[in-house]
Amino acid sequence: MSARRRLALPVAIAAGFALAALPAQSAAAGDRKSPRAVPATGCAPGSVHRMRTARLSYGARALRRVRARRLPAGPVIERFGTVNVNGVATVFGVLAARVDASCRPVWLEVQLPIRPSGSTGWVLARDVALFPVRTRIAVDLSRRRVTLLRSGRPILVATVVVGAPSTPTPTGRYYVNQRLLTRSPTGPFGPGAVGISAFSPVLRSWPQGGPIAIHGTDAPGLIGFAVSYGCMRARNADIVRLLQLAVEGTPVDIRM
């Protein structure tokens, strides 16, 4: 599917704006390798190894239809295709791997882009392509601040609009699941949106369940205030950099 395909704005944000998907950070199916985070000298079959540090994490792109389970080999809690409702590649944030005796991942514990916010599940490693992610986003709601880090070092600090008291930005640990470009960079969402795997805690009837994003704005005078429906609005120049640097799979930590 073309990375420039036009699609409807996932509207956590709002209906009626068309977007194009940015290419998802991914590994080709033939390039998949066991992550280096898993020891290479032999493992206890079925042992679980964490795959996320402050400097390095992993994303997983769906290669085929993926079934997410509450536990390895347990009941299915959600099914995913290779692309999401916006036509963007389905990507998960990887937390851990359950390995075999040769230390190759058999099951992956991943973050899921579904309600309730912060949901996790287990997927078969053979159904996804792993790729390294060296970026991380830290959001400080009290300071109205978004910080993008690469290999543990800040490379962008942006002041943003956050959710109003009646429509708060959800706190928790999420990940970037899609990047989208608007057709009108001067519109209410600016040049684009960095979608994350969180949902509004109150706007459940909104399209697609009220997903949360960091997006641009046509009202920069509101930057620094708590007046949004839950999304974070940044200056358009900052959003352009986030769209370029915050690849799919980037961990997002939102704190008060």
Catalytic residues: 215, 231
The closest alpha carbon to 251, from 135, 114, 157, belongs to: 135
CA torsion 207→208→211→217, rounded to 10°? -40
Asked if residue 197 lies in contact with residue 68, where contact means CB atoms within 8 angstroms, the answer is no
Asked if residue 160 lies in contact with residue 178, where contact means CB atoms within 8 angstroms, the answer is no
First to last CA, the chain: 38
Q: How far is CA 210 from CA 231, 233, 252, in A?
A: 10, 15, 17
The CA distance from 132 to 129, in Å, is 10
The CA distance from 198 to 178, in Å, is 12
The CA distance from 228 to 185, in Å, is 19
The distance between the two most distant Cα atoms of the chain, rounded to a whole number of Å, is 57
Asked if residue 56 lies in contact with residue 74, where contact means CB atoms within 8 angstroms, the answer is no
The closest alpha carbon to 130, from 95, 167, 176, belongs to: 95
Write out the two tokens for 85.
């409702």
The closest alpha carbon to 208, from 100, 85, 81, 67, belongs to: 85
